[in-house]
Amino acid sequence: MLCLLGTVHNVIMIIMAMKRIEAFIASEKTPYVLSALETLGLQATFYESKGMGKGEKYTVSYGKGSGTQRMAYSSRTIVISIVDDDSRVKEAVSAIKQAASTGTSSGGIVIVSSVDDLTVI
């Protein structure tokens, strides 16, 4: 979807409706999802995430000596983030769902949100 915002000093400003897609997936599915997105010509950023939801708890220790702290978390997932044109969202989400499927109900989640502003640095 294109919106013509107007002209400033004889320059036409056109804004495309953009969406941000964030997929929280099992870490072992990362190469499959990235490959599926690359096939669609989409670029993605990904990083590891640790959560405190339901499930088996893992313990992380930090600090020195008697000041050692322990933090329990239950999930280690990968977050894949994409910003793209609104018209490609369904295609991208479908590719993520297919590539990230684990066969269980806890295979991950996909969040789609609107991008109000995007600045290229």
Domain count, the chain: 1
What is the Cα–Cα distance from 113 to 119, expressed in whole angstroms? 17
Q: Is residue 90 part of a domain?
A: yes
pTM, two decimal places: 0.70
Expressed as residue numbers, the domain containing 106 is 18-115
Task: Say if 8 falls within a structural domain.
Answer: no
Does residue 121 lie within any of the structural domains?
A: no
Q: Determine the average pLDDT of the residues in 20-44.
A: 93
Q: pLDDT by residue (tens digit) across 41-87?
A: 999 999 998 776 665 555 666 666 665 556 666 667 899 999 998 99
* Rounded mean pLDDT, 16-24: 90
Which residues are CB-neighbours of 22 under 8 A, at least 6 positions away?
A: 79, 80, 81, 82, 110, 111, 113
Residue 9, in any domain of the structure: no
Q: Is residue 70 part of a domain?
A: yes
CATH of the domain at 63: 3.30.70.120
- Strand-pairing partners, residue 84, are 19
Query: Above 60 in pLDDT, residue 103?
Result: yes
Residue 96 lies in a domain: yes
Q: How far apart are the C-alpha atoms of 97 and 29, rounded to whole Å?
A: 11
Whose CA is closest to 104, among 40, 36, 48, 29?
Answer: 29
Residue 79 in domain: yes
